[in-house]
Amino acid sequence: MRNFSSAVQTVLNSDNIKFAFLIKLEFINTYYFTSYNSNIVFDGDTYRADGGLFEFDTPKFSSTLDREAYKVVIADSLDEMATEFKANVVGKPVSVKVALLDSNRELLLGVNDVLSVYNGFVDAPQITNDFEQKLAVIDCTSPMSDLDTINAFYTSRDGMDQQSLTDTSFDEIFRNKEITSKWGKV
């Protein structure tokens, strides 16, 4: 069960929940973005309000083990993201946190107050340009994405040699060999 600080619990129990997203992209350079109207310093890092954060998915709670895809869109007028994408960002970490605002509209920025809502990796980065705006679209996926992976394993005489040269369990596969075994009640 997740435990919250008393300040966070007070905000969560109220009817008026306000928050700001803190997004960290760990590419060749590390980028910090926030949805808040001014820069935020959290845990020694400055999350930029003017960094071009254009759109992002809201966190989704899932009761099943799944890929949990997530999308972040950043305005890329200076070609920073395009340069990063060319250097290959697939598999690089992405984390999203939420900082809540208390009743005085002050951000709760203690290490125990900020909630981690997504941790995953870049899956499919792309640049879109419609001649009005250039956007970097970052599709992310969670570590559970490997559950969708399909690996082929060939059962042939030499197939097991890829795993172990001393295993002889596939030596008779290439021949038609009849085996009689007792099945059920003997």
Measured on CA atoms in the order 143, 117, 109, 39, is the torsion positive or negative?
positive
pLDDT at 164: 78
pLDDT value for 159: 67
| Within-domain flag for 53 | yes
Provide the residue range defining the domain that includes 122. 6-148
Q: Torsions phi, psi of 23, nearest 5?
A: -115, 130
**What pTM was estimated for this model as a whole?**
0.72
Residue 103 belongs to a domain: yes
Cβ–Cβ < 8 Å for 120, 68: yes
State which H helix or E strand residue 10 sits in: helix 6-13
Query: Which pLDDT score, from 0 to 100, does residue 30 have?
Result: 96
| Number of domains composing the chain | 1
Query: Within a domain: residue 173?
Result: no
* Structural domain contains residue 181: no
Asked if 20 and 35 count as a contact pair (C-beta separation under 8 A), the reply is yes
Assigned domain for 162 exists: no
Q: Would you say residue 182 lies in a domain?
A: no
d(CA 91, CA 142): 10
pLDDT along the chain (186 residues), means of 10: 82 89 95 95 95 80 60 90 94 93 92 89 92 91 61 65 76 67 71
Residue type, 42: F
